[in-house]
Amino acid sequence: MGAVGFVVLFPLLGFLVLLTFGRRLGDPVAGWLGTLAVFGSFVSAIVVWLARLGNEGHPYVLRLFDWFSAGGLHVNVSFRVDGLSVAMILFVTGVATLIHLYSIGYMKGDPLYHQFFVYLNLFVFSMVVLVTANTLPLAFLGWEGVGACSYWLISFWFERPTAASAGKKAFIVNRIGDTGFLLGTFLVFEHLGSVSFSRLTAGSLNLSPDTATAIVLLFFLAAAGKSAQLPLFTWLLDAMEGPTPVSALIHAATMVTAGVYLMARLSPILALAHTADLVIAIVGVATAFVAAMAATAQTDIKKIVAYSTVSQLGYMMLGIGTGAYTAAIFLMITHAFYKALIFLGSGSVIHSLNGEQNIRRMGALKKYMPITTVTMILAWLSIAGVPPFSGFFSKGAVLENAFGDSPLLWAAGVITALLTAYYMGRLVYVVFYGTPRFEEVTHGHDPHESPSVMTIPLIVLAAAAVIGGLLNLPVSGFGFLGSWLAPVFGTAQAAYPMSAGLKDGLMATDAVVALLGVFLSWRAWGGVSENPALERKIFFNGWYIDAFYDRAFARTGTAVAEVADTVVDRQIVDGAVTGVAGVARLVGGAGRKVQSGLVRSYLLIMVGGLIVMLGYVLTVAAR
């Protein structure tokens, strides 16, 4: 199991080699080298996994060295191998390998080709450190590392001013979260006397509920920033300015799930903080719903997918909040498969249409891009939760637990599930069916299928998205992931007693809702729809279903989407970001005024400070 060291080492080596020799290696050797490093990491992860089979019960800790100890605080650099971390490294390195492979084709010809892989390898390294770290400070290192890489990669095409400002926004939101992380760490140290995950389960027993709530909420602040939860999610939409493989790897499959991972890792403390859990669940389900609504009205293909990611992250947080950690992790893994697939598929489309991202200028791509089309449809069915695709099982598990916690949470989740099936259907129909509308971007050339270095990852991911449900079937004896993770979560995992009939009923509801969503999207967009004018014609025909669609989605949907977009994004978050920047600018400007260069005014300010101190002293002495 010491192979976990290699999981960490390979991406680091790749990063160092590429940093030193990257420019000399150039296109495409640098890309292949980076991919190889991550693949090596993936192979090591498999070795770790195989070694663990059979003795899942006991976590293994690879202790490299003592980092520092100060004032009772002992921190060592050690990596933790348990069910959770193995599950994480397997899917992180696996998905990362595929996305590296895809990037070799996607980034071809970019002047900063090698630098892209430098960042990407550094990202994988940081992510692996984050999920395998056995102490909070080491996890923080990874946490910061993925944040920094994300910031760099969002503004990778820094000539675009939007890219630069998007990077800035991601930076500010994540810094807010980081403060929560550090404060939470200090509180944990203060009350448990240790910052090691090994001591978490035993130590947290002595926590008072209030302390546990404070710790959880602080870490949730960090997680909400990183995992794009409700008030803080807009940076993720702007983050789509980065290259598409980055969106797929960082802003869909791995980094944004770090918050969910963190909360799952802290499950012993979460189990004690019921108020905080409720907050998490409500924030999660609200995020899921609002983002899904917003996704129904977007025209930029990457924006649709981004909203969809936010929505799915909301589901995961719902799982965390209701104590369904296994379900949340299960959803995280299957989501990584289908969402990475959707992103890469979108990237494939964008690539073939010379960078066009507006779905109004696509259509009928089925004919030209068969592989992309088929894989995208599979991804759609999967995310929609149509049985027996992976999303059905993972989302179903989350919803089942939500029902156990509160039927209201469940209801909101089910409505969101309907929306999910619908908006993805809209994307598929508008982009791949209907009439071609891409003449002006392709200038008469036909779009072409992407090279095999890009389609192979699509196919592999599609296979994973279809059969991913096998990881944790709701049949006794086949809940592999559940039994794999059981020693990690232990008693923290919520157990809701339910009759078999109720469970079957819930699953049936999920399936019906998913199919209903698929059906709705077909009626609304299938075959007929090629531009907004047609929507009105269908509505004019007075089909009940379309009237319903119009009322529920087109109008309210647009309204909610607009509210979500305008109020939440522009005014609240942008306002806050501009506010912070504005205050900083104001104070900075004041600082420059104070720094007048006149020695006598400096003296005056010093004397002013002295007088304040003396005034304070006088009041103390007078007492």
Partner 1 sequence: MTIPGSWYLVVAALLFGLGAFGVLTRRNVIVMFMSLELMLNAVNLTFVSYARMLNDVGGQVDVFFVLVVAAAEVVVGLGIIVAIFRQRATVTADDISSLKG
Partner 2 sequence: MIFANVLSQLPIALPAISYKAVAPELVLFGGALLILLVSATVGKRELPGLYRAIALVAALAEGGFSGYQLYLAQGAKASLAVAGAIAYDGFSAFAGIVVAAILLLAILIGPGFIKRIAGDGPEFLVLMLISAMGATVMAQGEDLIVIFIGLEILSIALYVMVGYRIGDGLAREAAFKYFILGGFSSAIFLYGIALVYGATGTTNLAKIGAFLALNVLTHDGVLLFGLALLLLGFGFKVSAVPFHLWSPDVYQGAPTSVTGYMAAMAKVGAFAALIRVFDIAFAGQIVQWRPIVVGLAILSMVFGALFALRQRELKKILAYSSINHAGFILLGVYAGTAAAISNTLFYLIAYAVIVVGTFGLVSIVQDSIGVSEGSCSLDQLRGLARSRPALATVTAIMVLAQAGAPFTTGFLAKFSIIVSVVEIREYWVAVVAMLSAAIAVAFYLRIVLAMFRGEPEEVEGERVLAIQGAATEAPARRQALAWIGVSLSLVFTVGFGIFPQPLLDLAARAHIVG
Site residues, partner 2 (CB under 8 A): 65-71, 73, 137, 140-141, 144, 158, 171, 175-176, 178-179, 182-183, 186, 189-190, 584-585, 587-589, 591-592, 594-595, 597, 599, 602-603, 605-606, 608-610, 613-614, 616-618, 620-621
Assess contact for 203 and 193: CB atoms under 8 A.
Answer: yes
Residue 128 near residue 7, CB atoms below 8 Å: yes
24 binds, among partner 1, partner 2, none (CB under 5 to 8 A by kind): none
Q: How far is the CB of 145 from partner 2 (least distance, A)?
A: 8
Q: Tokens representing 217? A: 């909420």
Enter the DSSP assignment of 73: E
Pick what 183 binds: partner 1, partner 2, none; C-beta below 5 to 8 Å, kind-dependent: partner 2
* Residue 68 vs 602, nearer CB to partner 1: 602
Q: Minimum Å distance from CB 178 to partner 2?
A: 6
Cα–Cα distance, 484 to 93 (Å, whole number) = 19
CB 506 within 8 A of CB 500: no
In the complex, the smallest distance separating the C-beta of residue 610 from partner 2, rounded to whole angstroms, is: 5
| DSSP-assigned letter for residue 232 | G
CB of 607 to partner 1, least distance (A): 7
6 and 46 Cβ atoms separated by less than 8 Å: no
| Closest to partner 1 by CB, 533 or 598 | 598
Tokens representing 40 are: 């090596």
Compare residues 178 and 356 and give the one whose CB is closer to partner 2.
178
Q: How far is the CB of 357 from partner 2 (least distance, A)?
A: 24
Choice between 407 and 615, CB closer to partner 2:
615
| CB atoms closer than 10 angstroms to residue 20 | 11
| Inter-residue contact 543 to 520 (CB < 8 Å) | no
Say how far residue 436 (Cα) sits from the centre of its chain: 33
Residue 202 binding partner per list partner 2, partner 1, none, with a CB distance cut-off of 5 to 8 Å that depends on partner kind: none
Closest C-alpha to 31, from 97, 126, 127: 97
**Residue 137 touches which member of partner 2, partner 1, none, C-beta under 5-8 Å by kind:** partner 2
Cα atoms in the 13 Å half-sphere on the side-chain side of 104: 21
Nearer to partner 1, 497 or 597 (CB): 597
Partner from partner 1, partner 2, none contacting 6, C-beta within 5 to 8 A by type: none
Closer residue to partner 1 in complex, CB, 495/603: 603
The item of partner 1, partner 2, none sharing an interface with residue 551, based on CB under 5 to 8 Å by kind, is none
Candidates 607, 612, 617, 618; binder of partner 1 (CB under 8 A) is: 607
Residue 548 touches which of partner 2, partner 1, none (Cβ within 5-8 Å per kind): none
105's CB contacts (< 8 A; 6+ apart) are 450, 451, 453, 454
The interface mask with partner 1, positions 564-603, x = CB under 8 A, is ----------------------------x--xxxxxx--x
- List Cβ neighbours of 479 (8 Å cut-off, separation of 6 or more): 472, 473
State which residue, 500 or 599, has the beta carbon closest to partner 1.
599
The one of partner 2, partner 1, none whose footprint includes residue 620, by CB under 5 to 8 A per kind, is: partner 2
If the CB atoms of residues 299 and 595 are measured against partner 1, the closer one turns out to be: 595
Question: Closest approach of Cβ 609 to partner 1, in Å?
Answer: 14
In angstroms, the CA 214 to CA 192 distance is: 14
Nearest to 395 by CA among 321, 506, 294: 506
* 3-class DSSP state of 60: strand
In this complex, which beta carbon is closest to partner 2, that of residue 202 or of residue 605?
A: 605
Please give the span between the terminal C-alpha atoms of the chain, in angstroms, as a whole number.
66
What CA–CA distance (Å, rounded) separates 98 from 460?
8
Q: Residue 474 phi/psi, 5° resolution?
A: -80, 40
- For residue 617, the minimal CB distance to partner 1 (Å) is 15
Minimum Å distance from CB 353 to partner 2? 29
Q: Which of residues 45-104 bind partner 1 (CB under 8 A)?
A: none
Query: Considering only CA atoms, which of 316, 310, 320, 228 is closest in space to residue 266?
Result: 320
Question: Burial, 361: exposed, middle or buried (Cβ in 10 Å; 0-12, 13-18, 19+)?
Answer: middle
Cα dihedral across residues 540, 541, 542, 544: positive or negative: negative
Cβ proximity to partner 2: between 129 and 461 the closer is 129
Structure tokens at 494: 């919520």
Q: Is position 621 an interface residue for partner 1 (rule: CB under 8 A)?
A: no
**If contact means CB under 5 to 8 A according to the sort of partner, which of partner 2, partner 1, none does residue 82 touch?**
none
C-alpha closest to that of 360 among 281, 297, 414: 297
Decide whether 470 or 587 has the Cβ nearer to partner 2: 587
Site residues for partner 1 per CB under 8 A: 592, 595-600, 603-604, 607
